[in-house]
């Protein structure tokens, strides 16, 4: 600008015209650069029959929308015979959606005669579901293993009425239900419900032999329960892939119960033995107490004899007779082996 001040100061009309022409040239050059940056996309869309205005492409960049993604999506849709507005694609892009995957799902649904609108596909995509995989599964049903081997269990285990464990493995064929995909439960719910149905069916069987003879009964009973309600899938079939016999649960329970009863009986017997030992010790203590009383009573006999002599109640012959009786008692006790049979003189 400092260089232009002397020129303007001279005040010549030619100099002013030169400045204007320079400014116009700069503006035109900038416009040419901008147009050149978007000309390729504009021409590509025009030749593909998915026209997008040049001004719209510039406005997309200002709105932080990738023009390449929008043009690519428009071209794919147009070639498949779908008319998707540019504003709808931009809105989905700004909502952090996968525009190309939504368009691919709409193309796949159109080829398979599946009713799917852009609004529904966009909602499924924004809900975090893979809308293209959902359409593909709707066309080509997939098989779900029950139980899921990746969870660490290989079979669904249940016990029939006769106490025999039966191990089963099922394969569930499902098809995506587009109308219930938003808000519908996923594969984990299908696996859980089918596993519950298998356990219930085996548990209702009178014997394990009935399950082995007619494994298709499990499929029929489980299918009749309508386990796909509230899920994003429609169950087409449930096939029992494998049925095997496990442990004799009833025998194990009976053995455990018998062992428990045995321990209870042993505990009661030990209690009775302890009571008997305590009673025996109590009786021995009483015997010892009574013997001490006898000894004390025998100690009073000489005193009583002396008192009887002093009072004249006992004569000499009576004393000799008493001694003879005592001697006879000791003799009988020694013969009988009773060491304590002797009296006290």
Query: pLDDT for 29-71, tens place per residue?
Result: 666 666 666 778 877 888 888 888 878 888 888 888 888 898 8
My answer on whether 118 and 161 are in the same domain is no
pLDDT at 150: 85
Indicate whether 217 belongs to any domain: yes
Mean pLDDT, rounded, for 103-121 = 90
Total structural domains in the chain?
A: 2
**If we measure between CA atoms, which residue out of 202, 284, 190, 297 comes closest to residue 233?**
190
Helices 118-126, 99-111: inter-axial angle, 10-degree rounding = 130
Indicate whether 324 belongs to any domain: no
pLDDT at 5: 45
My answer on whether 100 and 222 are in the same domain is no
Which residue's structure tokens are 């099922």?
170
Backbone φ and ψ for 163, nearest 5 degrees, come out as 90, 10
My answer on whether 16 and 125 are in the same domain is yes
Range of the domain at 185: 144-248
Indicate whether 66 belongs to any domain: yes
pTM score, two decimals? Answer: 0.61
Instruction: Give the residue from 200, 223, 248 where a domain finishes.
Output: 248
Indicate whether 233 belongs to any domain: yes
My answer on whether 93 and 201 are in the same domain is no
Contact 197, 240 (CB under 8 A): no
Q: DSSP states of 160-211 as a string?
A: -TTSEEEEEEEEEEEEE-GGGTTT-B-HHHHHHHHHHHHHHHHHHSSSHHHH
Contact 164, 246 (CB under 8 A): yes
My answer on whether 12 and 131 are in the same domain is yes
Indicate whether 303 belongs to any domain: no
Query: pLDDT for 214-248, tens place per residue?
Result: 888 888 888 888 888 888 888 988 998 888 898 88
My answer on whether 93 and 158 are in the same domain is no
Indicate whether 24 belongs to any domain: yes
My answer on whether 182 and 216 are in the same domain is yes
**Dihedral Cα 282, 286, 291, 294, nearest 10 deg:** 180
Instruction: Give the residue from 75, 109, 138 where a domain finishes.
Output: 138
Q: Across the strands, what pairs with 244?
A: 167
My answer on whether 65 and 150 are in the same domain is no
Indicate whether 276 belongs to any domain: no
pLDDT at 33: 62
My answer on whether 157 and 232 are in the same domain is yes
My answer on whether 111 and 151 are in the same domain is no
My answer on whether 57 and 115 are in the same domain is yes
Instruction: Give the residue from 138, 153, 188 where a domain finishes.
Output: 138
Indicate whether 214 belongs to any domain: yes
Query: pLDDT for 66-100, tens place per residue?
Result: 888 988 998 899 888 888 988 999 999 999 999 99
My answer on whether 172 and 86 are in the same domain is no
Mean pLDDT, rounded, for 272-292 = 90
**If we measure between CA atoms, which residue out of 68, 21, 16 comes closest to residue 45?**
68
Mean pLDDT, all residues of the chain = 83
pLDDT at 104: 93
pLDDT at 35: 64
pLDDT-derived band of residue 7, with 50, 70 and 90 as boundaries? very low
Which residue's structure tokens are 């000309």?
39
Q: The domain that contains 224 carries what CATH number? A: 3.30.479.30
Helices (H), the chain: 4-10, 13-47, 54-62, 67-79, 86-94, 99-111, 118-126, 131-139, 187-204, 208-213, 216-224, 249-311, 316-336
């Amino acid at each position: 600008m400092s260089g232009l001040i002397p020129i303007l100061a001279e005040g010549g009309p030619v100099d002013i015209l030169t400045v204007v022409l320079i400014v116009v040239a700069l503006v035109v050059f900038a416009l040419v650069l901008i147009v050149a940056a978007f000309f390729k996309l504009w021409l590509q869309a025009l030749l593909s029959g998915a026209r997008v205005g040049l001004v719209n492409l510039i406005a997309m960049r200002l709105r932080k929308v990738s023009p390449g993604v929008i043009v690519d999506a428009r071209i794919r849709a147009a070639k498949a015979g779908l008319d998707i507005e540019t504003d709808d694609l931009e809105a989905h892009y700004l909502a952090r959606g996968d525009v190309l995957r939504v368009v691919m799902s709409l193309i796949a649904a159109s080829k398979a005669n599946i009713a799917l609108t852009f609004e529904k596909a966009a909602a499924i995509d924004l809900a975090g579901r893979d809308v293209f995989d959902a359409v593909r599964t709707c066309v080509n049903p997939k098989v779900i293993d029950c139980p899921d081997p990746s969870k660490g269990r290989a079979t669904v285990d249940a016990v029939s009425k006769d106490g025999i464990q039966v191990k089963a493995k099922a394969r569930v064929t499902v098809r995506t239900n587009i109308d219930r995909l938003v808000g519908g439960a996923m594969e984990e719910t299908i696996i859980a419900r089918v596993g519950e149905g298998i356990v219930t069916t085996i548990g209702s069987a009178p014997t394990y032999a009935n399950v082995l003879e007619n494994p298709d009964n499990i499929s029929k009973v489980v299918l009749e329960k309508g386990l796909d309600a509230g899920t994003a899938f429609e169950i087409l079939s449930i096939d029992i892939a494998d049925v095997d016999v496990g442990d004799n649960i009833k025998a194990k329970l009976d053995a455990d119960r018998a062992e428990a009863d045995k321990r209870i009986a042993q505990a009661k017997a030990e209690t009775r033995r302890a009571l008997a030992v305590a009673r025996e010790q109590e009786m021995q203590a009483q015997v010892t107490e009574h013997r001490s009383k006898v000894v004390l009573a025998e100690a009073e006999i000489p005193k009583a004899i002396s008192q009887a002599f002093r009072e004249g109640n006992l004569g000499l012959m009576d004393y000799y007779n008493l001694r003879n009786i005592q001697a006879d008692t000791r003799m009988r006790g020694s013969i009988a082996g009773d060491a304590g049979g002797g009296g006290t003189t």
